[in-house]
Amino acid sequence: MPIPAPFTRSQSGAAGITFRTDRERPRILSGYVLVLSVFAGLVNALYWSGRQQPDDWSSLWIAGILVNNGNSDHIYDFDPTDFAAWSGSAWQEVIVTNDLSAAPHPFVHIPGVAYAVAPFTDVLSFEASVVWLTALCGACLPLLVSASWALWSRTTVPLPALLAITVAAWYATAFQSGMWLGQTTPIILCMTVCGIAYARDRPVAAGIVLGLAGIVKLTPLGLIPLMLLFRHYRRGAATATATAAFVALASLVVGGGGLFGTWIDRMRWLSAHVVVTGSNRSGPNPGWWTRGFDSGYESEFTRAPCLVGLW
């Protein structure tokens, strides 16, 4: 009796159901993707050392410090006349006593994010945390490219394409400006795309990743209704919904109903207003420009590649 050769194509069951073998599944985290991710993280951290003004990351760091100091009720303090500006004595004390960026942004995330950051403020300096954040953002680029390729083509990304697209993505203005401001967006985007790409074959793990990404920034959760329309993505969408709901409930329990309600009020305020700041290039803001010249924005802008156009 001849021995059947190893399957290299989809196998069909008795009921006509097609199963994909492991050999057919695109490999998102292949060996060369992992190596390139480590290399990209190191290069990104080294390149941006001393070149950043991580105002976005400062907001998360300050919120974590406020939680540790017992001032969690003040993590959402902001200037109602300029949402891009912090306000209040609690923030003032943290900024004066810590070496942070020049113009920290107000905190807008769900309370659980502040509680998640809080332990790191005890073991890392702000400067060290920025280095780790920048390295992680750089490491996410090749993984994001690999996941995007697998999602759209159902194949493993070739190494030449991975290298070319990763370099192009690194030079993109969006990534460069995100690094200058210390944003978590590359990480969240990577988690979102990986969650969708893995949803067909590993729906539980993919849903957890997507749900966590949506807790940090709410935008990924908007993909869940779309995923529910496709049979292969429904389990992943359901898991993402359950994950986000669980973390939101945990945030409510840990931070308390009052703090959670304050966060909801801030989100409603944002939805009802047009937030205009210099950093998002929505239009002129005299207060921002004044702070910019006083706090060294000019020199930092001219040092950061792809950001000179913001002038």
pLDDT, tens only, 193-209: 999 999 988 999 999 99
Task: Render pLDDT for 216-258 as a digit per residue (tens, 0 to 9).
Answer: 998 899 999 999 999 899 999 999 999 999 999 999 999 999 9
CA 84, 262, 83: angle at the middle one, nearest 5? 10
**Residue 163 confidence (pLDDT) above 60:** yes
**What proportion of the chain, given as a percentage, has pLDDT over 70?**
79
Q: What is the mean pLDDT of residues 80-93?
A: 83
Residue 2 has pLDDT above 80, yes or no: no
Bridge partner residues of 19 (DSSP) = 11
Q: Is the pLDDT of residue 5 over 90?
A: no
pLDDT score, position 40 = 97
Cβ contacts of 31 within 8 Å, gap of 6 or more: none
Q: Is residue 24 scored above 70 in pLDDT?
A: no
User: Which DSSP letter does residue 125 get?
Assistant: -
**Average pLDDT, integer, range 289-298:** 38
- At 27-69, the pLDDT tens digits run 999 999 999 999 999 999 999 999 999 999 999 999 999 999 9
Per the structure block, which two tokens stand in for 80? 């109602």
Model confidence band, residue 190 (pLDDT cutoffs 50, 70, 90)? very high
Instruction: Reduce the DSSP state of residue 280 to 3 states and report it.
Output: coil
Does 287 score more than 90 pLDDT?
Answer: no
The CA distance from 157 to 161, in Å, is 7
The SS3 of residue 79 is strand
pLDDT for residue 288: 36
Does 150 score more than 50 pLDDT?
A: yes
What confidence category does residue 18 fall into, taking pLDDT thresholds of 50, 70 and 90? very low
Q: 127 or 82: which carries more pLDDT confidence?
A: 127
| Residue 111 CA: distances (Å) to CA of 13, 107, 214, 254, 261 | 48, 9, 14, 9, 10
Q: How confident is the model at residue 84 (pLDDT cuts 50, 70, 90)?
A: confident
pLDDT of residue 86: 83
Give burial (CB, 10 Å; 0-12/13-18/19+) of 23: exposed
pTM of the model: 0.79
| Between residues 60 and 282, the one the model is more confident about | 60
pLDDT, position 195: 94
CA dist 98 and 95 (Å) reads 5
- Of the candidates 128, 236, 219, the one whose C-alpha atom is nearest the C-alpha of residue 182 is 128
Tell me what the mean pLDDT of segment 112-136 comes to. 96
Four-residue CA torsion sign, 123, 127, 130, 132: negative
